[in-house]
Chain A
């Protein structure tokens, strides 16, 4: 089953790439607007051979990771706090919703103004995206704690901080982890959009430079590198998640395996 899916996926990819390549070579579509896969591949190879790409990758990676870590920590702490303090939650609710409704792209120029053209403005943009994902998931995770498990832990003698350690956090962990995979994507978006709006380094900058001179090959090559970059980060997070959530039943295998 798995192997067959892989074969189909590879086939589909090959078909699309070949179709693209052939259409351009036969002159059905204009290479100026669409470039072609072979050129894009060559460009990527060129980037890595000259080493030109590495500074950009490094800058984007660093911005992504900083935004991811800062946003997640802030979001989880806020989520815990508000979920366990109903009054604070009721007071802050409209503010949080209002802040989350702001399209972040609008913030990019103002962050550039506040934090300059360097990394700080990109990290700030990423944090505004990551924070809310982590926050809402943590909040929901705490709210969804099984009341029977909670009552049981209390009867067994758990104090407030013990409940946090033994019940709330482990219970919210699966929510927080699923949020991490979304968060890493958002952190990348924050970094790249920030770079795109104004920077001197990074993948977003690279793509925006290419666009500036109508270099479609460069734009597509940048997109491919970016996609591979995100897939890699997502894979790392999912590995960590699998390691930390061993207690979770596999879907469809709940109960009575012995």
Chain B
């Protein structure tokens, strides 16, 4: 099918990360093909976010190698856009100023950046909210602004850390569908971290399961062979979806139990 395996966007080799004496992840090998939508699931505290921060270059690993499109990563990952779990917008800037920030920082003339930011805000459904400050927006709107803020830079890799975790179910499904539509346009490589297995299956090409921490590692790797384009609300009801869900859940449940036993 897709030959995204030919040139891997992200290659992690034998990655270990420590915080003092605490080993967060240990010996992780993971490859994401160019254009692949890869979801990482696991119980809370399994080091999923740690892994994203490593790929982003925000915190280099204690051991192991990170390669981005074949080149070793040093410093921040300039190919990646990062959608954080917590509110990450600059509260002292309006929605428009937040979206145009990336281009401005990278030297785009103010006027051009403003026009592009306006277009992106419209694209995520927030035309007319240009002059609102983040505290004047709802949770879903803030996520849209954050998404536009990241996508305006057209990163080749999109890192997402439970981006929709704090949203209500309806808003969440709406955002997931919009994300899929945007992804369908230019097929970025996506690394999507979540603890919600249903969300992972509905969105991704591949789901990777992490073990409970400390010293998390990968315990499962599943291809999700569901047709696209998908509707995240409807696909959950199909027989194929349920079959895959049962299969992965059998594995994930053990890890969740182990995480709780701690």
Q: Which residues of A contact B (CB under 8 A)?
A: 148-149, 151-159, 162, 166-167, 170-171, 173, 246-249, 253-258
| 16 A-B pairs (CB sep. < 8 Å) | A148-B86, A149-B87, A149-B90, A151-B84, A153-B90, A155-B80, A156-B102, A156-B105, A171-B92, A173-B92, A255-B135, A255-B137, A255-B139, A258-B129, A258-B136, A258-B138
* Size range of the chain B interface in the assembly: 20 to 34
Q: A155-B76, A166-B90, A258-B138 are in contact. List 8 more A-B contacts (CB 8 A).
A: A151-B88, A152-B90, A153-B101, A155-B81, A156-B153, A157-B102, A173-B92, A247-B94
B253 at the interface (CB under 8 A from A): no
Is B90's CB under 8 angstroms from A148's CB? Answer: no
Number of residue pairs A-B, CB distance < 8 angstroms? 83
Most buried by B among A154, A155, A246: A155
Most buried by A among B78, B80, B135: B135
> Which residue of the partner chain B has the closest CB to A163?
B105
**Residues in B neighbouring A157, C-beta threshold 8 A:** 78, 102, 105-106, 153
> Which residue of the partner chain B has the closest CB to A244?
B92
| Known contacts A156-B102, A247-B92; A256/B84 CB under 8 A | no
**Residues in B neighbouring A170, C-beta threshold 8 A:** 90, 92-93
Is B139's CB under 8 angstroms from A156's CB? Answer: no
**Residues in B neighbouring A173, C-beta threshold 8 A:** 92
B58 at the interface (CB under 8 A from A): yes
Per-position 1/0 for B53-92, Cβ under 8 A of A: 0001010000000000000000010101110101111111
Q: Say whether chain B's binding surface is mostly helix, strand, loop, or mixed.
A: loop
> Which residue of the partner chain A has the closest CB to B87?
A148
Inter-chain CA distance A249–B89, complex, in Å, is 14
**Residues in A neighbouring B141, C-beta threshold 8 A:** 258
Is B89's CB under 8 angstroms from A149's CB? Answer: yes
Is A156's CB under 8 angstroms from B149's CB? Answer: yes
B132 at the interface (CB under 8 A from A): yes
B222 at the interface (CB under 8 A from A): no
Is A155's CB under 8 angstroms from B82's CB? Answer: yes
B241 at the interface (CB under 8 A from A): no
Inter-chain CA distance A155–B151, complex, in Å, is 12
Is A249's CB under 8 angstroms from B135's CB? Answer: yes
**Residues in B neighbouring A153, C-beta threshold 8 A:** 90, 101, 105
> Which residue of the partner chain B has the closest CB to A147?
B86
Interchain CB contact (< 8 A) of A257 among B76, B92, B105, B136: B136
> Which residue of the partner chain B has the closest CB to A250?
B135
> Which residue of the partner chain A has the closest CB to B106?
A157
Inter-chain CA distance A99–B194, complex, in Å, is 51
B103-155 contacts to A (CB < 8 Å): 105-106, 129, 132-133, 135-139, 141, 149-150, 153
| Known contacts A156-B153, A171-B92; A151/B138 CB under 8 A | no
Is B102's CB under 8 angstroms from A148's CB? Answer: no
**Residues in A neighbouring B101, C-beta threshold 8 A:** 153, 156, 166
**Chain A nearest Cβ from B220, distance in angstroms:** 29
Is B135's CB under 8 angstroms from A154's CB? Answer: no
Inter-chain CA distance A178–B25, complex, in Å, is 43
Inter-chain CA distance A249–B106, complex, in Å, is 29
Interchain CB contact (< 8 A) of A256 among B92, B138, B153: B138
Is A258's CB under 8 angstroms from B89's CB? Answer: no
Is B58's CB under 8 angstroms from A155's CB? Answer: yes
Closest 9 CB pairs of A and B: A249-B135, A152-B88, A170-B92, A156-B102, A157-B105, A247-B92, A256-B138, A155-B82, A148-B86
**Chain B nearest Cβ from A83, distance in angstroms:** 18
**Residues in A neighbouring B78, C-beta threshold 8 A:** 157
> Which residue of the partner chain B has the closest CB to A245?
B92
**Residues in B neighbouring A159, C-beta threshold 8 A:** 105
> Which residue of the partner chain B has the closest CB to A155?
B82
Inter-chain CA distance A153–B98, complex, in Å, is 10
Is A247's CB under 8 angstroms from B76's CB? Answer: no
**Residues in A neighbouring B106, C-beta threshold 8 A:** 157
**Chain A nearest Cβ from B215, distance in angstroms:** 25
> Which residue of the partner chain B has the closest CB to A154?
B76
**Residues in A neighbouring B153, C-beta threshold 8 A:** 156-157
Is B58's CB under 8 angstroms from A151's CB? Answer: yes
**Residues in B neighbouring A248, C-beta threshold 8 A:** 91, 135
Is B58's CB under 8 angstroms from A154's CB? Answer: yes
Is B91's CB under 8 angstroms from A247's CB? Answer: yes
Inter-chain CA distance A156–B100, complex, in Å, is 10
Is A247's CB under 8 angstroms from B93's CB? Answer: yes
**Residues in B neighbouring A151, C-beta threshold 8 A:** 56, 58, 82, 84, 88
**Residues in A neighbouring B136, C-beta threshold 8 A:** 249, 257-258
**Chain A nearest Cβ from B219, distance in angstroms:** 28
